[in-house]
A and B are shown apart, each in its own frame.
Chain A
Amino acid sequence: MDQKELLVLKDVKKSYSSLSVLKGINLTFQQGEFISIVGKSGCGKSTLLRIIAGLEAAGGGRIMMNGSELQSLNEAARIMFQDGRLLPWKKILQNIGLGLSGDWREKALEALRSVGLEDRAHQYPSSLSGGQKQRVALARALVHEPQLLLLDEPLGALDALTRLEMQRLIEAIWQKNRLTTILVTHDVEEAVMLSDRVIVLKDGNVAVDQVIEMPRPRQRANPAFTKYSEEILAEIMGTRSARGTVLVALSH
């Protein structure tokens, strides 16, 4: 895998009135990487993702996308929201084709096929279950062929089984097209299951930037999986005994 830097964050800050949410984030994201950002609610992880998407302006610092500084909306990125945000008045195919021009139908249908819902193309979103809606939202993000896929807790509102299914789908799609993906989640196991790197945000700072070295598909029963999960969780909850201990890769 070539190690081209796609996105570089330099001292990114953000505060709302007197509350400082991000206190100078420095991170580098390589092309093709799957990165998860985890942390307690209110730790600034969603804000960071929205800044990367260009939906919110940073209060300080620089965001370099493909070597040039991000000024407004990040055109090369597509974000998927926790609450789907499908347009209820458009049929599913039209929802996926939103913002596309030219010969969009075939592309939209292809994207819908990749999430396994091509038979629902001509129905309205209200006929779908929560998990299916998120699949459509994923297809809508993928059809733009973005360089960067941003997932803002997309599975947070789903039941456990549907979430598992969606995790597999996201992993399969990532393995197929190696699209640089940043997943914001509060579920540590989900992060360990899917990511090359897990970043823990705490009090507006990067507390941990941990590479996960485990072969895919990953098994929850794998002792390394448990080890990673427990260490990261301990870091988030602040119950880690020896601070600063470097996690040892227990793979293979």
Chain B
Amino acid sequence: MKKVKIDKKRGEKWLPWVIPALILIVWQGFSGIGIIPARILPSPTEVLKAGVKLSASGELTTHISISLWRALIGFLIGGTLGFILGLFNGLFKYIDLLFDTSIQMLRNIPHLALLPLVILWFGIDETSKIFLVALGVLFPVYINTYHGIKSVDRGLIEMGQAYGLKGFSLFTHVIFPGALSSILVGIRYSLGVMWTTLIVAETIAANSGVGYMAMNAREFMQMDIIVLSILIYALLGKLSDWLAKLCENKWLSWRQLS
């Protein structure tokens, strides 16, 4: 009985990877027998070879680390601002009245539409990419933090007050934990926005990073490197989503028991 249980658990662990693995196998097979021509899509082994070659020259690591750095800095700036704005607007009525309308107006501008303006302002160096990532990340974090705080159960807040909590202690024991699941939804969503923004910005205006690597490879028709870049984005996206999920499991563990 016990062995079956372990096998089942192991199965659950591997099941999500069956489809990606299947796609790789089919892709490799079709490339091998020539159904997919190499100039349309290189085979996975070709892509892997390109990856190995670029790793050996150190190019790949440089591009990935610069992209990661931009993503992280932009995310931290935008996320922090969005969180603070959401927090204060959610908690204080007059700050809310002062800021919320303006923020809602700004939110409805697609941040990528600012790209030409941002290039003119900051050129194509780091500032433009970080600015755009921060802007893209800010709004989902803001909206979800704000909404999370607004939707904390009034009854629980009243209970906290009746039991002697006020100010900061009310915030840390009742309001923040009550808003946390919504805040994490915002963070998880904004991680997706973070990568999308960075890909676009690096593709159009950069001289380093994974997006630049792909754009540069296009000039020389290096299909394998283009596909490699796309796969790297997919992996980085999966990695950040996995991290966000890990945080959710850790901080919202009380939710899973019900």
A residues contacting B by CB (< 8 A) are 53, 55, 73, 75, 78-79, 81, 83, 85, 87-90, 98-99, 123-124, 126-127, 140, 144
Q: Quick check: is B240 within 8 A (CB to CB) of the other chain?
A: no
Most A CB contacts (10 A, CB to CB) among B155, B159, B165 go to: B159
Contact of B162 among A53, A87, A88, A90 (CB under 8 A): A53
Is B163 within 8 A of A78, CB to CB?
yes
Is B173 within 8 A of A87, CB to CB?
yes
| Residues A98 and B160 in contact in the complex (CB < 8 Å), given A89-B254, A124-B257, A127-B257 | yes
Contacting residues of chain B (136-195) with chain A, CB-CB under 8 angstroms = 155-156, 158-165, 169, 173-174, 177-178, 180
> Within the complex, what minimum Cβ distance (angstroms) separates B36 from chain A?
51
Contacting residues of chain B (220-258) with chain A, CB-CB under 8 angstroms = 252, 254-255, 257-258
Is A83 within 8 A of B155, CB to CB?
yes
Per CB-CB distance, the 9 closest pairs between chain A and chain B, nearest first, are A126-B258, A99-B164, A85-B159, A99-B163, A89-B177, A124-B254, A89-B254, A124-B257, A126-B257
What are 29 of the A-B contact pairs (CB < 8 Å)?
A53-B162, A55-B162, A75-B164, A79-B162, A81-B159, A83-B155, A85-B156, A85-B159, A87-B156, A87-B173, A87-B177, A88-B254, A89-B177, A89-B252, A90-B177, A98-B160, A98-B165, A99-B160, A99-B163, A99-B164, A99-B165, A99-B169, A124-B254, A124-B258, A126-B257, A126-B258, A127-B257, A144-B163, A144-B164
| Residues A85 and B155 in contact in the complex (CB < 8 Å), given A53-B162, A78-B162, A99-B165 | yes
Q: Which residues of B contact A140 (CB under 8 A)?
A: 163
A88 and chain B: residue at smallest CB distance? B254
> Within the complex, what minimum Cβ distance (angstroms) separates B251 from chain A?
9
Is B177 within 8 A of A73, CB to CB?
no
Q: Which residues of A contact B180 (CB under 8 A)?
A: 89
Q: Which residues of A contact B255 (CB under 8 A)?
A: 88
Complex CA gap A169/B156 in Å reads 25
Complex CA gap A81/B186 in Å reads 32
Contact of B174 among A75, A87, A126, A127 (CB under 8 A): A87
> Within the complex, what minimum Cβ distance (angstroms) separates B152 from chain A?
11
Complex CA gap A83/B153 in Å reads 12
> Within the complex, what minimum Cβ distance (angstroms) separates A156 from chain B?
15
B residues contacting A by CB (< 8 A) are 155-156, 158-165, 169, 173-174, 177-178, 180, 252, 254-255, 257-258
Q: Which residues of B contact A73 (CB under 8 A)?
A: 161-162
Q: Which residues of B contact A124 (CB under 8 A)?
A: 254, 257-258
Q: Which residues of A contact B163 (CB under 8 A)?
A: 78, 98-99, 140, 144
Q: Which residues of A contact B173 (CB under 8 A)?
A: 87, 90, 98
> Within the complex, what minimum Cβ distance (angstroms) separates A140 from chain B?
7
Q: Which residues of A contact B158 (CB under 8 A)?
A: 55, 85
Complex CA gap A238/B160 in Å reads 39
> Within the complex, what minimum Cβ distance (angstroms) separates A243 from chain B?
38
Q: Which residues of A contact B254 (CB under 8 A)?
A: 88-90, 124, 126
Complex CA gap A83/B158 in Å reads 12
A150 and chain B: residue at smallest CB distance? B162
> Within the complex, what minimum Cβ distance (angstroms) separates A100 from chain B?
8
Q: Which residues of A contact B161 (CB under 8 A)?
A: 55, 73
B177 and chain A: residue at smallest CB distance? A89
- Given A73-B162, A98-B163, A127-B258, 19 more pairs with CB closer than 8 A: A53-B162, A55-B162, A73-B161, A78-B162, A78-B163, A81-B155, A83-B155, A85-B156, A85-B158, A87-B174, A88-B254, A88-B255, A89-B254, A90-B177, A98-B165, A99-B163, A123-B257, A124-B254, A126-B257
Complex CA gap A88/B173 in Å reads 11
Q: Which residues of B contact A83 (CB under 8 A)?
A: 155
Complex CA gap A89/B159 in Å reads 15
A123 and chain B: residue at smallest CB distance? B257
> Within the complex, what minimum Cβ distance (angstroms) separates B257 from chain A?
5
> Within the complex, what minimum Cβ distance (angstroms) separates B113 from chain A?
40
